[in-house]
A and B are shown apart, each in its own frame.
Chain A
Amino acid sequence: MQDFKFNIYDLSSFTHWVDVSLYSYCTPFWAMMWEMIIIGVAMLLFYAVIGLFLVYAERKVCAFMQNRIGPNRVGPYGFIQTVADLVKLLMKELVIIRKSDKFLFYLAPFIVIIVNFMTMAAIPFAKGIHAIDFNIGVLYIMAISSMGVIGVLIAGWSSNNKFSMIGAMRSGAQIVSYELSVGFSLITMCVLAGSMQLSTIVEGQSECWYIFQGHIPAIIAFVIFLIAGTAETNRGPFDLAEAESELTAGYHTEYSGISFAFFYLAEYINMFIIASIAATVFWGGWMPFHISGLAGFNNIMDFIPPFIWYIGKTFVIIWIMMWFKWTFPRLRIDQLLTLEWKYLLPINLVNIILMALIVLMGWHF
């Protein structure tokens, strides 16, 4: 048992302490099991808290944009309104449609939520708080996050509802298309970082964030990532899959109670994941804002704990995505696909070449 000193600026000592203590008490097998359980429970808690908070935040943000007050009855400033909503959803009856495919109907929300949960594993929340640090972290995130569409498709198909079906088909076309742009814009940044490991990507930004290091192509990649990421979460101007005014609620029309809550929560967590990837790859994740040469300024920035940096950046991006949603009208399906295949994808391909050129010639900061 070694000495433990809790350091908020470097949590790896804490995780290391947990690891060593567990191995000293149990057999290696049980120690690993305990670690998995602890991480799982911690992530689940984080997931629930973030999900509920985001629902609350969205309701408040949209209320302020619409000259309203928003939730203000349950708890101070309506803060625990979403908890009350969750309790309500938990107690609601699960409506089963007689002619639906019951197995798939129940399975779909779980697929969506599990995929979500798996993606969270690869995100570095703070220095040392990182469930798994793959050396292909970016690839892993891209691969897993695009599997959520399977749940959406299954939900739309198994509901035996024409609106759900159209919604699911739209969602399929949309996510498959925008996956390309998300992937390519991340690859552009991997070219600059020279690594796909998220911890390396974050460490590489200790001097200067990649969005500044890579200047023009990095900014283009960031904008494309933001657009494509919003599209991938089925939000904002791209919410065709659930287009309220056209398809009533799209693929989750027939869901009620907790299975609806799963879809609802998954949408917000998706937004959180996209925002945290954007924050990690472009804005340096938990890395404080540094300007090389200004030691005093850098010290002040270092004083803010990494976790706060990470959450702050993520929420700024989430706020931008909410801003999109509450000010733009919805696109039509053909315009959506035109935007991707005729504009974003070619720009992206050129952008990768530009980035490669900049990295080769050393024109970055």
Chain B
Amino acid sequence: MSEEISSVVDIDQQEYIINIGPQHPSTHGVLRFVVSLQGEVVKSLQPHIGYIHRGIEKMCENLTYQQIIHLTDRMDYLSAHTNNEAVCLCVEKALGIEVPERVKYIRTILDELTRLASHQLWWCSFGMDLGGQTCYFYGLRDREKILDIFEETCGARLLLSYNTPGGLMWDIHPNFQKRIKEFIKYFRKKLPEYDAILTGNVIMHQRTEDIGILSLEDAISYGITGPTARASGFSCDVRKRYPYSAYDKADFKEIIYTKGDTFHRYQARMDEMWESMKILEQLVDNIPEGDFTAKMKPVIKLPEGEYYQRVESARGELGVFIVSKGEKYPYRMKFRSPNFCNLAIMNKLTSNFKIADLIAISGSLDLVIPDIDR
């Protein structure tokens, strides 16, 4: 096998090769970069993944659709709800079920809360990557409030598993709306603090501006999505392009920056937090009355065919591809995970930058390793 396929990106043995990862403070998981250096300058980089490959796609082939939901939490654990929703939407589309309006609203609200929580955690770890450790605690302090809302309604803080094909597991907690409104009021005051401690800092600007520039052509060609691509001017927000759940009822801006450097990727995510709060404010008071789930049979069998569903997770476009043969298990299930595609650009972005920039760039891509490995 290996004789036939020669490896082109052969790391020159004369260069200084270091392993960043699998255990390293700023790869945020078990990702491993084999970096070849010249002095401090990165010459080439190869990601090595698979340390937590659990074969979720293979496992799905032996599980019913209700069970699959609980596996998808474990992919991108920071936007667990979005992953759940993607599978549910795909199954509902295949069955031709129209879920109640109430479900759509609640799903969208939870989506945005997930996005906020995920971006907060991204912000704190990005600050850490740059060496400003205080950021970490600011972000976590506010993320805790969102997790409390999750806990009250879903019973879990991280891996929600609140969705089920056809609707939700149970209705929302009576405090749900009140808590969200309190949170938005609170977080509107706290978000400027983030800017005060990191965005406005001169060192932070020097460290991120003109670093790791991703061009629009590359973004499209490499299939980069999410805020990472939107910072390069690639209008790829699935929420706008193919609205699902209640996104068509909300009025929000798609954040587009054009330069595509690390600072714009940072700025795109910061602005998305404001937009998420706007969406939340519009939807939270208008949750219609109704059932929290559509009528579903206990055994779900998808009609034979192929189904694809795209949703916007916090890191980019998440795709679910189901090939069904009319059984209660999927014949083949594929997750197009945003991080897997975003990782592909790392080598190109980091070449000829320094090690410190490599850390900043990988931080700005917001990689979540279980999502890459699946």
Contact = CB atoms under 8 A, between A and B. Distances in A.
Nearest to B125: A245
B201 A329 contact: yes
Given A246-B26, A246-B355, A329 B18 contact: no
21 contacts: A67-B137, A162-B17, A166-B18, A166-B355, A170-B40, A240-B356, A244-B25, A245-B359, A248-B24, A327-B132, A327-B197, A328-B131, A328-B203, A329-B198, A330-B130, A330-B132, A331-B207, A332-B357, A333-B354, A334-B354, A335-B203
A88 interface: no
Interface in A59-73: 62, 65-68
A326 B198 CA distance: 12
A243 B356 contact: yes
Contacts of A332: 206-207, 354, 356-357
In this complex, the member of A245, A329, A331 whose beta carbon has the largest number of chain B beta carbons within 10 angstroms is A329
B204 interface: yes
Given A246-B26, A329-B201, A68 B137 contact: yes
Interface string A315-353: 000000000001111111111000000000000000000
B111 interface: no
Nearest to A330: B131
In terms of DSSP, what is the predominant structure of the interface of chain B?
helix
Given A162-B16, A245-B25, A246-B356, A329 B40 contact: no
Interface of A: 62, 65-68, 162-163, 166, 170, 237, 239-240, 243-248, 326-335
B133 interface: yes
B189 interface: no
B196 to A, nearest CB: 10
In this complex, the member of B18, B40, B128, B131 whose beta carbon has the largest number of chain A beta carbons within 10 angstroms is B131
Contacts of B201: 328-329
Given A326-B133, A330-B356, A162 B18 contact: yes
A329 B137 contact: no
A245 B129 CA distance: 5
Contacts of A68: 137
Contacts of B204: 329
A330 B17 CA distance: 24
Contact of A66 (B134, B354, B355): B134
In this complex, the member of A239, A245, A328 whose beta carbon has the largest number of chain B beta carbons within 10 angstroms is A245
B127 interface: yes
B113 to A, nearest CB: 22
B141 interface: yes
B308 interface: no
A67 B139 CA distance: 11
B346 to A, nearest CB: 16
A335 B207 CA distance: 9
B321 interface: no
Interface string B1-39: 000000000000000111000001110000000000000
A223 to B, nearest CB: 15
B356 A329 contact: no
B307 interface: no
B252 interface: no
B190 to A, nearest CB: 11
A237 B201 CA distance: 12
A334 B198 CA distance: 21
A309 B20 CA distance: 47
Given A245-B359, A333-B354, 19 more contacts: A66-B133, A66-B136, A163-B18, A166-B18, A239-B131, A240-B356, A244-B25, A245-B128, A245-B129, A245-B130, A247-B355, A326-B134, A327-B134, A327-B197, A328-B131, A329-B204, A329-B207, A331-B203, A331-B207
Contacts of A326: 133-134
B194 interface: no
B123 to A, nearest CB: 13
A163 B359 CA distance: 14
Contacts of A328: 131-132, 201, 203
Given A245-B129, A329-B131, A67 B138 contact: yes
A66 B137 contact: yes
Contacts of B359: 245-246
A335 B206 contact: yes
Contact of A329 (B17, B127, B141, B354): B127
A59 to B, nearest CB: 12
Contacts of B198: 329
Nearest to A170: B40
Interface in B130-150: 130-134, 136-138, 141
Contacts of A329: 127, 130-132, 198, 201, 203-204, 207
A336 to B, nearest CB: 10
Contacts of B136: 66
Nearest to B131: A330
B25 A237 contact: no
B358 to A, nearest CB: 8
* Across the A-B interface, the 6 shortest Cβ-Cβ residue pairs: A330-B131, A329-B130, A66-B137, A329-B132, A245-B26, A332-B356
Nearest to A236: B131
B130 A333 contact: no
Given A162-B18, A330-B356, A237 B131 contact: yes
A330 to B, nearest CB: 3
Interface string B320-360: 00000000000000000000000000000000001111010
